[in-house]
Structure 1
Amino acid sequence: MKIGLDIMGGDYAPKAAVLGAIEAHKTLAADQTLVLIGDKEVALTLLKENNYSADNFEFVHTTEVIGMGEHPTKAIMQKPDSSIAVGFRMLKEGSLQAFSSAGNTGAMLVGSMFSVKTIPGVIRPAMTAIVPKLKGGLGILLDVGANADCKPDVLLQFGVLGSLLAESIYNIPNPKVALMNIGEEEEKGNLLSLATYPLMRDTKLFNFVGNVEGRDLFSDSNDVVVCDGFTGNVILKLAETFYVITLKKQFKDEFFARFNYEQYGGSPILGINAPVVVGHGISNPEAIKNMVLLSKNMIETKLIEKIKQAFQ
């Protein structure tokens, strides 16, 4: 198994990425190799400074970097020797089994769709976020930004993708899938939710439990919450501030501590032909480590193969 890591992506790259790679390597098995993609000389210097042998990794040197604010499509096309472009090329060729980066999210989405491409039958890939539950455990929210505008059949597919992720990666049996809405009643909502509800109600593809409101997000009434990417991104950014506010207020609480993005590593892009994980732009070494481990889990659980079977 070879897992590719973009060491040039993120606000604190390459140092945070290399330090995270060191921590990830300590947990990997002997037959699991971490491939560091980016400026090799910088990586070697950081490894030497931290007394960690370069023999523990493979390296692919690149000469270009896609910045966080660059236009995704233009950057991928105009910077073929960037760490993101090279990572996707290796993933497409099969020399990597997974690829992760805390770099430009748009470039990661574009790279996914133009290199490894979407799984046949999947209309649009989705990005996910972890939602801590009040009584322990976690849930999944999708989409959280890949698709600002959606159609009903796309949301239906998000239910399938989220259910498979919950079951395969987080060991949630028969996940309860809900539709985010402004009310629990079937007749509530905008045109999108009104059209999506009957599709989900009548499907046998997952365990649909109806509409939920924003206040239900952290309850045990659901395991997977489906919404368009615009709504999901607003919810995600608001939820992320809970943890930041508790730190600023010096308020320690076990529940709000679980909003710390570092624990979850990143967001899988679901619906494409290979495991790809996008990390938070401010990822520190702990987040990078967990991003790599999530990539590993996606390979080991054969999540992509399960999604392909579901969409046959």
Structure 2
Amino acid sequence: MTKTLAIDCMGGDYGPSVIIPAAISALQQHSDLQIYLVGPQQELNSHLKTHPKFDSRLHIQDASEVIGMSEKPSAALRRKPDSSMRKSLELVRDGEADACVSSGNTGALMALATVLLGTLPGIERPAITAELPNRKGSVTNMLDLGANIDASAEQLTSYAVMGHVLSERADGIDNPRVALLNIGEEAIKGRDSIKLAGEMLSNQSAMNYVGYIEANEIFDGDVDVVVCDGFTGNNVLKACEGITRFLYDQLRTEFTRSWWSKAVSALVWPLLKSFQRRINPDQYNGASLLGLREIVIKSHGSADSKATLFAINKAITEIERQVPQAIQDTVAQLLLNTDNEE
């Protein structure tokens, strides 16, 4: 099965200097992969001079404009028809590519993708989801992480369906456990939208809904999907990133404080490196924009080539597992069940 990606080379903090090496690595790993590099042709060609040639599998799609990281989504929609981000999505829309990967402006990417690709039947709003490591050594998918500030009960329910399918298809988890993020586990706690969503999910026999979960339990590994509104999810994600940096910096400071601590650090350094690898956010890079008719992966703006490669491989996995089609089928099944019950 040949897979084709459209990669926006002009997004993020570093642009082609890290995105092109990641694309080349992906081509080396996957013999059935083709890639469109999207951006100013002359600039991309200059970066490709020092890389291996993939004449039959690597293509350049010229795009003369770039959407800045701070630009408003509305401006990106109206004023930059030849942007690298838009051209990447158009390749997917027109059937030239199976998925788009971009590390550019998140709001603009979501807006453009929604307009150009459309949402799946039964999905009112797309959601951003990403993997978080857990204590069991696997991953927990969390959504929404910022696409929608607020969410109704119906939207939270659709997020749960999408997370269920992603966890099942992309992560290979049988009957994934789905939970709503709340301020307590009791049924009486939380916003009305969360309580109503809980009732709706409890009536869905096709899903393994396990109830509420609190923020301090997200990393325990007792659930596979955590559902919340975008405001809550984005703040949780940013807090986790900050705590990770804080803990690692504190450990490094403690182990360099004195000659004794330096001697001890030599003994425990392998353990620290192992710990760093396990919580390294690079290996979890690549947020899925779920609910769209096609596959779109958002790479972190500060991602290096290694982290960008993780995002590219995530797109490849979703192509292979046909995630959008699976979400569409599951939504239709649940809606059909609801209609029959009524």
Change (3 A) 1:262 1:111: same
In 2, the alpha carbon distance for the partners of 1:90 and 1:309 equals 24
CA contact (8 A) 1:132 1:255 kept: no
CA contact (8 A) 2:161 2:331 kept: no
The equivalent of 1:290 in structure 2 is 310
Q: What is the correspondence of 1:1-312 to structure 2 with a 5 Å cutoff?
A: 1-29=3-31, 31-49=32-50, 51-53=51-53, 55=55, 56-251=57-252, 252=272, 254=274, 257-312=277-332
In 1, the alpha carbon distance for the partners of 2:307 and 2:106 equals 16
Larger radius of gyration: 2
Per-residue Cα deviation, 1:155-174 (whole angstroms, up to 9, x for no partner):
01111100100010011110
In 1, the alpha carbon distance for the partners of 2:149 and 2:276 equals 27
Change (3 A) 1:91 1:85: same
Per-residue Cα deviation, 1:170-201 (whole angstroms, up to 9, x for no partner):
11110000111111111111222222221122
CA contact (8 A) 1:240 1:260 kept: no
In 1, the alpha carbon distance for the partners of 2:273 and 2:193 equals 37
**Per the alignment, in what secondary structure is the counterpart of residue 221 of structure 1?**
coil
In 1, the alpha carbon distance for the partners of 2:41 and 2:54 equals 10
**Per the alignment, in what secondary structure is the counterpart of residue 53 of structure 1?**
coil
Change (3 A) 1:139 1:107: same
Unaligned runs of 5+ in 2: 253-271, 333-342
In 1, the alpha carbon distance for the partners of 2:309 and 2:316 equals 11
Q: RMSD over aligned Cα, in angstroms?
A: 1.5
CA shift, 1:152, in A, is 0.4
Change (3 A) 1:201 1:260: same
CA shift, 1:254, in A, is 4.3
In 1, the alpha carbon distance for the partners of 2:113 and 2:284 equals 21
Per-residue Cα deviation, 1:103-149 (whole angstroms, up to 9, x for no partner):
01011101111011000111111111211111211111110000111
In 2, the alpha carbon distance for the partners of 1:185 and 1:201 equals 14
**Per the alignment, in what secondary structure is the counterpart of residue 226 of structure 2?**
strand
CA shift, 1:73, in A, is 2.1
Name the amino acid aligned to 1:260.
N
In 2, the alpha carbon distance for the partners of 1:265 and 1:52 equals 25
Work out the number of aligned pairs and report it.
310
Unaligned runs of 5+ in 1: none
Name the amino acid aligned to 1:162.
G
CA shift, 1:291, in A, is 1.1
CA contact (8 A) 1:88 1:115 kept: yes
In 2, the alpha carbon distance for the partners of 1:231 and 1:298 equals 26
Change (3 A) 1:265 1:24: farther
In 2, the alpha carbon distance for the partners of 1:36 and 1:2 equals 11
Per-residue Cα deviation, 1:62-100 (whole angstroms, up to 9, x for no partner):
110000000112112211110011111111111111001
After alignment, is 51-60 or 279-288 more displaced?
A: 51-60
After alignment, is 98-107 or 248-257 more displaced?
A: 248-257
Name the amino acid aligned to 1:225.
V
CA contact (8 A) 1:155 1:227 kept: yes
Per-residue Cα deviation, 1:258-298 (whole angstroms, up to 9, x for no partner):
33321123101001100100111111101111111111111
